[in-house]
Amino acid sequence: MKSIIVNTSTLKCSVTLQVIEEKDSFIKTSLFEESEKPSECLLKKIQNLLNEKELVLNDIDVFSAVIGPGSFTGTRIGLSTVYGFCYGLNKKFIKINLFDLLDKNMVIAAHAGGAYVKNRNKAYFANKEELEEIKRAKNSFVCIEDEKEYFDNAFVAIDLVEEATKYVSKKYVAKEFDDIFSTEPFYIEKSQAENSLEESLKTFKIKKATRKDVEQILNLENVCFSNNKYSKETIISEISKSFNTCLVGLINDEIVCFGIFSQPIDEGEIIQICVIDKFRRMGFAKKLFKEYVKIKHPKKVFLEVNKNNDSAINLYHKLGFNQIATRKNYYENGDDCLVFVNKFEESQK
C-alpha cells in the first residue's frame, strides 16, 4: 500500500508518504515551516516526497486528508487538493477526523488561546478561560506533540503522524474507504463566512417588484436557468400586468430570489420562482409563495413543471401541491410537463 496523508488543519501542517510493502516499507513526513503557507507549498511538498522515492502520483493507492477540527481555510485547502487527486486519478480516499484517531479525550489548538475539545462523545470549542479548567484535569486529555507548548505542557502528547498512518493502514486493510465527493470539513465553530452569511440572512425581506428591479431579476434569470429564460421585455411585461403579483426577496438590498404569480380571478398560477444557488434550501421560495398567498388569498394555485426537474417537484410537494395531470412531449426537447395544484379551500376545511 502506498498512501499520502495531508494535514493542513493543525498548527503544524504536514504531508506524509507511507509505503507498506514486503520488500520496502517506510514513512516519510515533510513538515511546514511557520512561514510556509499550504496554499503555496502543499503541492511542492507532495512532489518532493514522491521524487525522493522515485514515485509519481498515480503510484499512490489511497489519499487521505485531515478534515478537522482546526483551521477553516487550511482544512479546505488540504481537502480540495486531495479531492483533485482522487477525482483525476480515480483513487481511494480516507478522511481523518482528529477526534476519531483515539478513543480518548483530546484537545486541539485553536485561535485566541482556545481549543477544540473532545470530552467523551461531546465536541465543542473552549475559550481561554474554559481551557484553563480543562488543564486542571490534565490526566484525562491528550494533545498533539507539536502543540504541547501551546497547552503549557499540561497534557500527555501523541505523535500525530504515527497515529494517522496507523489509522489509514487499518482503514485500507479493512477496505473502509470514504466518499470524497460527499466529505465536508469537520467544523466545531462556524467559519467567518458562515457567520457572515448568518448575519446577512437576518436582513432578508420581501417586496413587490418594480421596473427598477428588472435588471437584477434578469441577471438571476440568466444565472438560474439554462433553457426557457425570460427576456428583459418578458419580465417587464409580467411585472406590468395588473393581475400578476411579482415579488423579490432581498438580502442587504440585493435581490437573491423572485417569484411571479398570476391570478386574474380567484385561482392563481405560479409563473416563475427563482432563487440564486447559494441561497437555495433556506426556505426563500416558500416565503415568496406564502407572501403571495397572504396578499391574494387564492382558492387554488396551479403550476407546470418539467418532469425531470426533481428539485422543483420536491419543493412543490413541500408547499402542499399535488400532481393532477401530465402533458406529453410538452417542451421543445420532448420532455413531459407535470401539472400541479394546491387547493386551499380543501386544505383549510
In a domain? residue 194 = no
Which residues make beta-bridge pairs with 304?
A: 339
Give the 3-state secondary structure of residue 304.
Answer: strand
Count of domains for the chain = 2
| Domain at 262, CATH number | 3.40.630.30
Which residue, 167, 189, 211, sits at the end of a domain?
Answer: 189
**Are 104 and 56 contained in the same domain?**
yes
Question: Which DSSP helix (H) or strand (E) runs through 216?
Answer: helix 214-224
| Domain at 8, CATH number | 3.30.420.40
CA pair distance 285, 289, nearest whole angstrom: 6
Q: How confident is the model at residue 348 (pLDDT cuts 50, 70, 90)?
A: very low
Task: Average the pLDDT over 69-80 and give the result.
Answer: 94
Q: How confident is the model at residue 164 (pLDDT cuts 50, 70, 90)?
A: very high
**Are 110 and 252 contained in the same domain?**
no
128-157, pLDDT tens digit by residue? Answer: 888 888 888 756 899 999 999 999 999 999
Instruction: Read off the pTM.
Output: 0.57
Domain of residue 185 covers 2-189
Which residues make beta-bridge pairs with 270?
A: 261
**Are 268 and 334 contained in the same domain?**
yes
**Are 163 and 23 contained in the same domain?**
yes
Task: Average the pLDDT over 298-326 and give the result.
Answer: 92
Which residue, 189, 216, 233, sits at the end of a domain?
Answer: 189
Residue at grid coordinates 394555485: 301
Instruction: Note if the bond before 264 is cis, omega within 30 degrees.
Output: no
26-52, pLDDT tens digit by residue? Answer: 899 999 998 899 999 999 999 999 999
**Are 28 and 129 contained in the same domain?**
yes
**Are 156 and 207 contained in the same domain?**
no
**Are 107 and 182 contained in the same domain?**
yes
In a domain? residue 54 = yes
Nearest alpha-carbon partner for 275 in 293, 292, 288, 261: 288
